[in-house]
Amino acid sequence: MTDLLAIFASAVGPIVAIAAVGYVLATVREIDPEPLNTAVVYVLAPALVFHSLATTRLEASTLLRVAVGIGVFTAAMWVIAELVGRAVGEEEPALSALVLVAIFTNSGNLGIPVSDFAFGAVGRQTAVLFLSVQSVLMYTVGVYVASRSSGSAGLEGVRRVFYIPLVYAVVAALGARALDIVPPADTAAMETLQLVGDASIPLMLLILGIQLARSNTATAVSRAWPATALKMAVAPAVGLGVALLVGFENATVARVFVLETAMPAAVTPLILVIEFAGSARTEGVLVSEYVSTCVFLTTLLAIPALTVLIAILQSGIVI
């Protein structure tokens, strides 16, 4: 119990505290998280991604294994979510919403800070890579899933991937590493990038708290249990299986990979559902409310779940 409390205080507690500030702030003041989110997506997160990938000491083979692992994990969870959704009688657009909740994790707002606190620099670098690859999948695979109930015209949204600075930050960082033109860490340029990137982490957590405060969960709780179970119980098990299958040479990278797959539901699928499903309802519940409820529930359940998982991963029992 002492170890769990220590892990919570050092790895999860600070995350909860900052997110709680955002939650409280949103309950006492009218705050639009969109401008803050825009700053993160277009400025702060790209700086974090470029600096982390450009300066990482992870081998190229490790970076490739992480990318492949994310692809395998996403495909596996998609198949499982489709089967579970159909088994419990979900139909479009709720089925697509369930799939989106199941396959995409909150690897940004929560994943990066938790991995950083729990596993240090390697944790942060691995989490940044996870976020980068998943962001591309969100605006390709995610757009396809969200658009299934709207016809093939919705696939035009895939073009958005070319407007995401994160993608270009990844390409630029890997290109600079390949050409050996990354500036030294103590130069003004790299220190500025690090400063800007570091600012993204607390801001991501504030945004998470604000978004949770704005979620309407009362009417959709009873519908959210299949997606919540997939996120909190199935996804970590699949993540562990994928990590063992891929065979990471760096044990810390493998542990962070599993930790990232255990993160709660991502917020971006909510944006996709709102755009492509519009005001669609499932058994009287707006699909957007269904997704926001899943985000809220999985985030709350993740607090004790991640604490226990970090303790298991740090002990080296399973990987």
Among the residue ranges 47-61, 145-159, 200-214, the one predicted with the least confidence is 145-159
8 Å CB contact between 232 and 301? yes
Mean pLDDT, range 126-148, rounded to an integer = 85
% the chain with pLDDT above 90: 44
pLDDT at 4: 77
pLDDT at 69: 97
Region at 278 (left for phi over 0; alpha for psi -120 to 50; beta for the rest): left
Give the closest residue to 52 by CA, choosing from 173, 135, 148: 173
CA distances from 132 to 50, 108, 125, 136, 246 (A): 10, 9, 11, 7, 19
Distance from the Cα of residue 121 to its chain's centroid: 18
The H or E element that residue 285 is part of is: strand 285-286
Question: The domain spanning residue 48 has which CATH number?
Answer: 1.20.1530.20
Mean pLDDT, range 259-288, rounded to an integer = 77
How many independent structural domains does the chain possess?
Answer: 1
Q: Which domain holds residue 180?
A: 2-315
Higher pLDDT, 280 or 92: 92
Task: Record the pTM.
Answer: 0.85
The H or E element that residue 45 is part of is: helix 45-55
pLDDT at 94: 82
Cis bond upstream, residue 46 (ω within 30): no
How high does pLDDT run on average in the chain?
86
For 182-229, what is each residue's pLDDT tens digit?
A: 999 889 999 999 999 889 888 888 887 887 787 666 656 777 889 999
Higher pLDDT, 223 or 83: 83
pLDDT at 53: 85
Give dist(CA 244, CA 145) in Å, integer.
Answer: 28
Give the closest residue to 305 by CA, choosing from 267, 265, 245, 253: 265
